[in-house]
Structure 1
Amino acid sequence: MALVRWEPFREIDTLQRQMNRLFDELIPLSARTDDSHFLPAAELEDTPDALLLKIELPGLEAKDIDVQVTADAVAISGERKSETHSESNGIKRSEFRYGKFQRVIPLPARVQNTEVKAEYKDGILHLTLPKAEEEKNRVVKVNLA
Protein backbone atom coordinates (compact mmCIF):
# COMPACT_ATOMS: atom_id res chain seq x y z
CA MET A 1 0.00 0.00 0.00
CA ALA A 2 1.40 3.36 -1.03
CA LEU A 3 1.38 6.40 1.17
CA VAL A 4 -0.46 9.39 -0.24
CA ARG A 5 0.41 12.85 0.96
CA TRP A 6 -2.58 14.77 2.23
CA GLU A 7 -2.85 18.23 0.74
CA PRO A 8 -5.67 20.16 2.41
CA PHE A 9 -5.47 23.09 0.00
CA ARG A 10 -6.14 20.81 -2.96
CA GLU A 11 -9.29 19.59 -1.23
CA ILE A 12 -10.36 23.15 -0.48
CA ASP A 13 -9.81 24.08 -4.14
CA THR A 14 -11.89 21.10 -5.26
CA LEU A 15 -14.67 22.04 -2.85
CA GLN A 16 -14.62 25.64 -4.08
CA ARG A 17 -14.93 24.53 -7.74
CA GLN A 18 -17.86 22.27 -6.84
CA MET A 19 -19.62 25.07 -4.94
CA ASN A 20 -19.07 27.51 -7.83
CA ARG A 21 -20.54 25.00 -10.28
CA LEU A 22 -23.54 24.48 -7.97
CA PHE A 23 -24.23 28.22 -7.72
CA ASP A 24 -23.78 28.67 -11.47
CA GLU A 25 -26.50 26.07 -12.01
CA LEU A 26 -28.88 27.39 -9.34
CA ILE A 27 -28.74 31.14 -9.88
CA PRO A 28 -30.19 31.17 -13.42
CA LEU A 29 -33.14 29.07 -12.19
CA SER A 30 -33.99 31.45 -9.38
CA ALA A 31 -33.36 34.63 -11.38
CA ARG A 32 -35.73 33.76 -14.24
CA THR A 33 -38.50 36.13 -15.15
CA ASP A 34 -40.70 36.30 -18.21
CA ASP A 35 -38.09 38.34 -20.07
CA SER A 36 -35.04 36.33 -18.99
CA HIS A 37 -32.23 35.92 -21.45
CA PHE A 38 -31.01 32.63 -22.77
CA LEU A 39 -27.88 31.64 -24.65
CA PRO A 40 -28.31 29.21 -27.52
CA ALA A 41 -25.91 26.28 -27.69
CA ALA A 42 -23.35 26.28 -30.51
CA GLU A 43 -21.07 23.77 -32.20
CA LEU A 44 -18.14 24.84 -34.38
CA GLU A 45 -16.24 22.49 -36.70
CA ASP A 46 -13.03 23.54 -38.46
CA THR A 47 -12.53 21.86 -41.85
CA PRO A 48 -9.72 22.60 -44.34
CA ASP A 49 -11.96 24.79 -46.55
CA ALA A 50 -14.63 26.15 -44.22
CA LEU A 51 -15.91 26.57 -40.69
CA LEU A 52 -19.19 24.78 -40.00
CA LEU A 53 -21.29 26.40 -37.29
CA LYS A 54 -24.49 24.94 -35.82
CA ILE A 55 -26.66 26.98 -33.46
CA GLU A 56 -29.54 25.47 -31.53
CA LEU A 57 -32.60 27.76 -31.76
CA PRO A 58 -35.70 25.65 -31.09
CA GLY A 59 -39.08 27.31 -31.19
CA LEU A 60 -37.98 30.24 -33.34
CA GLU A 61 -38.99 31.14 -36.84
CA ALA A 62 -36.38 32.22 -39.39
CA LYS A 63 -37.83 35.74 -39.45
CA ASP A 64 -37.05 36.13 -35.72
CA ILE A 65 -33.31 35.43 -36.16
CA ASP A 66 -30.69 38.01 -37.17
CA VAL A 67 -27.28 36.72 -38.30
CA GLN A 68 -24.35 39.03 -38.98
CA VAL A 69 -20.96 37.72 -40.11
CA THR A 70 -17.69 39.61 -40.10
CA ALA A 71 -14.33 38.24 -41.22
CA ASP A 72 -13.56 36.98 -37.70
CA ALA A 73 -16.86 36.61 -35.79
CA VAL A 74 -20.52 35.65 -36.08
CA ALA A 75 -23.21 37.57 -34.20
CA ILE A 76 -26.61 35.93 -33.77
CA SER A 77 -29.53 37.66 -32.12
CA GLY A 78 -33.25 37.28 -31.91
CA GLU A 79 -36.22 36.97 -29.65
CA ARG A 80 -38.32 34.06 -28.47
CA LYS A 81 -41.77 35.42 -27.77
CA SER A 82 -43.90 33.91 -25.04
CA GLU A 83 -47.22 32.34 -25.79
CA THR A 84 -50.26 33.65 -23.99
CA HIS A 85 -52.45 31.12 -22.22
CA SER A 86 -55.49 31.70 -20.09
CA GLU A 87 -56.12 29.31 -17.25
CA SER A 88 -58.85 29.63 -14.69
CA ASN A 89 -58.19 27.08 -11.94
CA GLY A 90 -54.73 25.79 -12.59
CA ILE A 91 -51.15 26.51 -11.80
CA LYS A 92 -48.82 27.03 -14.69
CA ARG A 93 -45.16 26.19 -14.33
CA SER A 94 -42.87 26.76 -17.26
CA GLU A 95 -39.19 25.98 -17.71
CA PHE A 96 -39.12 27.56 -21.16
CA ARG A 97 -37.03 30.68 -21.55
CA TYR A 98 -38.43 33.63 -23.41
CA GLY A 99 -36.94 36.95 -24.35
CA LYS A 100 -34.17 38.44 -26.40
CA PHE A 101 -30.81 36.79 -26.91
CA GLN A 102 -27.53 37.71 -28.51
CA ARG A 103 -24.44 35.61 -28.97
CA VAL A 104 -21.14 36.58 -30.59
CA ILE A 105 -18.92 33.68 -31.56
CA PRO A 106 -15.29 34.49 -32.38
CA LEU A 107 -13.97 32.45 -35.28
CA PRO A 108 -10.57 30.69 -35.21
CA ALA A 109 -9.84 31.70 -38.83
CA ARG A 110 -10.80 34.56 -41.13
CA VAL A 111 -13.74 33.82 -43.40
CA GLN A 112 -15.17 35.22 -46.61
CA ASN A 113 -18.27 36.78 -45.12
CA THR A 114 -19.78 37.46 -48.57
CA GLU A 115 -19.90 33.71 -49.36
CA VAL A 116 -21.69 32.44 -46.23
CA LYS A 117 -24.40 29.82 -46.73
CA ALA A 118 -27.18 29.41 -44.16
CA GLU A 119 -29.90 26.84 -43.61
CA TYR A 120 -32.47 26.83 -40.81
CA LYS A 121 -34.26 23.53 -40.31
CA ASP A 122 -35.86 21.84 -37.29
CA GLY A 123 -34.66 24.52 -34.88
CA ILE A 124 -31.00 24.24 -35.92
CA LEU A 125 -29.22 27.01 -37.81
CA HIS A 126 -26.42 25.66 -40.03
CA LEU A 127 -23.83 28.16 -41.27
CA THR A 128 -21.11 27.28 -43.75
CA LEU A 129 -18.38 29.91 -43.49
CA PRO A 130 -15.77 29.49 -46.27
CA LYS A 131 -12.27 30.37 -45.15
CA ALA A 132 -10.46 33.29 -46.74
CA GLU A 133 -7.85 32.27 -49.30
CA GLU A 134 -4.95 33.59 -47.20
CA GLU A 135 -6.08 31.31 -44.33
CA LYS A 136 -6.15 28.21 -46.53
CA ASN A 137 -2.64 28.79 -47.87
CA ARG A 138 -1.04 30.17 -44.72
CA VAL A 139 2.07 28.30 -43.60
CA VAL A 140 3.70 29.14 -40.30
CA LYS A 141 7.41 28.46 -39.77
CA VAL A 142 8.25 27.06 -36.37
CA ASN A 143 11.74 27.66 -35.03
CA LEU A 144 13.23 24.87 -32.97
CA ALA A 145 15.73 25.75 -30.28
Structure 2
Amino acid sequence: MSNKPEKPLNEPYDWFRRMVMARRNSLWQPATDAYEAEDRFIVVIEMAGMQAGNFSVTLADRQLIIEGRRTPPIDERVTAYHQLEVRYGDFRTVVNLPWKVDRESISATYEDGFLKVVLPRQKQDHEITVVNISSDSEKSGDTHDIG
Protein backbone atom coordinates (compact mmCIF):
# COMPACT_ATOMS: atom_id res chain seq x y z
CA MET A 1 0.00 0.00 0.00
CA SER A 2 1.33 3.42 -0.95
CA ASN A 3 1.66 6.42 1.34
CA LYS A 4 0.74 8.76 -1.55
CA PRO A 5 -2.61 10.45 -1.15
CA GLU A 6 -5.15 9.38 -3.72
CA LYS A 7 -6.10 11.85 -6.42
CA PRO A 8 -9.57 13.28 -6.07
CA LEU A 9 -12.03 11.99 -8.66
CA ASN A 10 -12.77 15.47 -9.95
CA GLU A 11 -9.12 16.35 -10.68
CA PRO A 12 -9.36 15.65 -14.46
CA TYR A 13 -12.53 17.75 -14.64
CA ASP A 14 -10.89 20.63 -12.75
CA TRP A 15 -7.87 20.52 -15.09
CA PHE A 16 -10.12 20.57 -18.16
CA ARG A 17 -12.21 23.43 -16.74
CA ARG A 18 -9.06 25.47 -16.07
CA MET A 19 -7.83 24.85 -19.64
CA VAL A 20 -11.18 25.92 -21.12
CA MET A 21 -11.27 29.09 -19.04
CA ALA A 22 -7.65 29.94 -19.90
CA ARG A 23 -8.39 29.46 -23.59
CA ARG A 24 -11.50 31.63 -23.41
CA ASN A 25 -9.63 34.44 -21.65
CA SER A 26 -6.44 34.42 -23.74
CA LEU A 27 -5.64 36.61 -26.73
CA TRP A 28 -5.89 34.58 -29.94
CA GLN A 29 -4.72 35.12 -33.50
CA PRO A 30 -7.02 34.48 -36.48
CA ALA A 31 -5.77 32.57 -39.53
CA THR A 32 -4.06 35.11 -41.79
CA ASP A 33 -2.71 35.03 -45.35
CA ALA A 34 -0.40 37.79 -46.62
CA TYR A 35 0.98 37.98 -50.14
CA GLU A 36 2.27 40.32 -52.85
CA ALA A 37 0.51 40.84 -56.17
CA GLU A 38 2.17 43.21 -58.67
CA ASP A 39 2.18 46.65 -57.02
CA ARG A 40 0.18 45.83 -53.90
CA PHE A 41 0.26 43.75 -50.71
CA ILE A 42 -2.86 41.78 -49.80
CA VAL A 43 -3.85 40.50 -46.37
CA VAL A 44 -6.77 38.09 -45.89
CA ILE A 45 -7.97 37.21 -42.38
CA GLU A 46 -10.51 34.53 -41.52
CA MET A 47 -13.00 36.15 -39.13
CA ALA A 48 -16.29 34.25 -39.36
CA GLY A 49 -19.23 35.19 -37.18
CA MET A 50 -18.34 38.85 -36.74
CA GLN A 51 -19.66 42.26 -37.72
CA ALA A 52 -17.45 45.03 -39.13
CA GLY A 53 -17.82 46.97 -35.86
CA ASN A 54 -16.25 44.11 -33.84
CA PHE A 55 -12.70 44.78 -35.07
CA SER A 56 -10.35 47.54 -36.18
CA VAL A 57 -7.65 47.80 -38.82
CA THR A 58 -4.68 50.08 -38.12
CA LEU A 59 -1.57 50.89 -40.14
CA ALA A 60 1.41 51.88 -37.98
CA ASP A 61 4.67 52.47 -39.85
CA ARG A 62 5.10 49.22 -41.80
CA GLN A 63 2.80 47.06 -39.68
CA LEU A 64 -0.84 46.25 -40.29
CA ILE A 65 -2.62 45.57 -36.99
CA ILE A 66 -6.03 43.89 -36.84
CA GLU A 67 -7.63 43.52 -33.43
CA GLY A 68 -11.05 43.09 -31.91
CA ARG A 69 -13.36 40.68 -30.12
CA ARG A 70 -15.50 37.75 -31.24
CA THR A 71 -18.34 36.87 -28.90
CA PRO A 72 -19.98 33.44 -28.72
CA PRO A 73 -23.32 33.22 -30.53
CA ILE A 74 -25.03 31.51 -27.57
CA ASP A 75 -25.77 33.01 -24.19
CA GLU A 76 -26.94 29.80 -22.54
CA ARG A 77 -25.09 28.39 -19.57
CA VAL A 78 -23.01 25.50 -20.91
CA THR A 79 -23.23 22.30 -18.87
CA ALA A 80 -20.73 20.24 -20.89
CA TYR A 81 -18.41 20.72 -23.85
CA HIS A 82 -18.23 17.91 -26.39
CA GLN A 83 -16.08 19.74 -28.92
CA LEU A 84 -14.38 23.11 -28.49
CA GLU A 85 -12.54 24.42 -31.56
CA VAL A 86 -13.88 27.91 -32.32
CA ARG A 87 -11.99 30.73 -30.60
CA TYR A 88 -13.85 33.59 -28.92
CA GLY A 89 -12.74 36.66 -27.02
CA ASP A 90 -10.09 39.25 -27.81
CA PHE A 91 -7.83 38.70 -30.81
CA ARG A 92 -4.92 40.47 -32.46
CA THR A 93 -2.76 39.82 -35.48
CA VAL A 94 0.16 41.88 -36.78
CA VAL A 95 1.43 41.67 -40.36
CA ASN A 96 4.82 43.18 -41.19
CA LEU A 97 4.77 44.90 -44.56
CA PRO A 98 7.74 44.53 -46.93
CA TRP A 99 7.64 48.14 -48.10
CA LYS A 100 5.89 51.47 -47.57
CA VAL A 101 2.29 51.64 -48.74
CA ASP A 102 0.17 54.41 -50.26
CA ARG A 103 -1.91 55.26 -47.18
CA GLU A 104 -4.51 57.18 -49.21
CA SER A 105 -5.33 54.15 -51.40
CA ILE A 106 -5.74 51.37 -48.80
CA SER A 107 -9.02 49.47 -49.06
CA ALA A 108 -10.66 46.91 -46.77
CA THR A 109 -13.72 44.72 -47.31
CA TYR A 110 -15.41 42.22 -44.99
CA GLU A 111 -17.45 39.58 -46.79
CA ASP A 112 -18.46 35.98 -46.09
CA GLY A 113 -16.37 35.85 -42.91
CA PHE A 114 -13.15 37.11 -44.50
CA LEU A 115 -11.50 40.51 -44.08
CA LYS A 116 -9.45 41.52 -47.13
CA VAL A 117 -7.09 44.49 -46.89
CA VAL A 118 -5.37 45.74 -50.06
CA LEU A 119 -2.32 47.95 -49.51
CA PRO A 120 -0.96 49.54 -52.72
CA ARG A 121 2.77 50.04 -52.85
CA GLN A 122 3.88 53.64 -52.38
CA LYS A 123 5.22 55.11 -55.60
CA GLN A 124 8.68 56.27 -54.78
CA ASP A 125 10.12 59.49 -56.08
CA HIS A 126 13.67 58.67 -57.03
CA GLU A 127 15.40 61.72 -55.68
CA ILE A 128 19.14 61.88 -56.00
CA THR A 129 21.03 63.79 -53.37
CA VAL A 130 24.70 64.64 -53.70
CA VAL A 131 26.47 64.72 -50.36
CA ASN A 132 29.63 66.78 -49.93
CA ILE A 133 32.37 64.89 -48.13
CA SER A 134 34.83 66.71 -45.95
CA SER A 135 38.10 65.32 -44.69
CA ASP A 136 40.48 66.14 -41.86
CA SER A 137 43.00 67.63 -44.33
CA GLU A 138 40.45 70.22 -45.53
CA LYS A 139 39.91 71.33 -41.96
CA SER A 140 43.67 71.92 -41.52
CA GLY A 141 43.90 73.91 -44.75
CA ASP A 142 45.76 71.26 -46.79
CA THR A 143 44.50 70.80 -50.33
CA HIS A 144 45.10 67.99 -52.74
CA ASP A 145 45.00 68.28 -56.49
CA ILE A 146 43.93 65.22 -58.35
CA GLY A 147 45.02 64.61 -61.83
Q: Same fold (TM over 0.5)?
A: yes
Q: 1:132 aligns with which of 115, 119, 122?
A: 122
Q: Per-residue displacement from partner, 1:45-92 (whole Å, max 9, x unpaired)?
A: 2122111111111111111010002341100000011231146xx533
The structure in which a higher percent of residues are helix is 1
Q: 2:42 aligns with which of 27, 52, 66?
A: 52
Q: Which residue of 1 aligns with 2:52?
A: 62
Which structure 1 residue ranges, 5 or more long, are not aligned?
Answer: 1-29, 138-145
- 1:70–1:113 CA contact under 8 A, matched in 2: no
- 2:34–2:95 CA contact under 8 A, matched in 1: no
In the TM superposition, residue 36 of structure 1 has moved relative to its aligned partner by 2.8
In the aligned structure 1, how far is the partner of 2:51 from the partner of 2:27? 17
Q: Which amino acid aligns with 1:57?
A: M
Q: Which residue of 2 aligns with 1:79?
A: 69
Q: Which residue of 1 aligns with 2:85?
A: 95
Which 4+ stretches in 1 moved above 3 angstroms? none
| Larger gyration radius, structure 1 or structure 2 | 2
In the TM superposition, residue 32 of structure 1 has moved relative to its aligned partner by 3.8
Which structure 2 residue ranges, 5 or more long, are not aligned?
Answer: 1-17, 127-147
Percent identity, aligned pairs only, is 27
In the aligned structure 2, how far is the partner of 1:48 from the partner of 1:92? 46
Q: Pairwise CA RMSD of aligned residues?
A: 2.2
TM-score, normalised to structure 2, is 0.63
In the aligned structure 1, how far is the partner of 2:60 from the partner of 2:80? 46
In the aligned structure 1, how far is the partner of 2:121 from the partner of 2:80? 51
In the aligned structure 1, how far is the partner of 2:63 from the partner of 2:35? 14
Q: Which residue of 2 aligns with 1:140?
A: none
In the aligned structure 1, how far is the partner of 2:87 from the partner of 2:27? 7
Check if 1:115 corresponds to 2:115: no
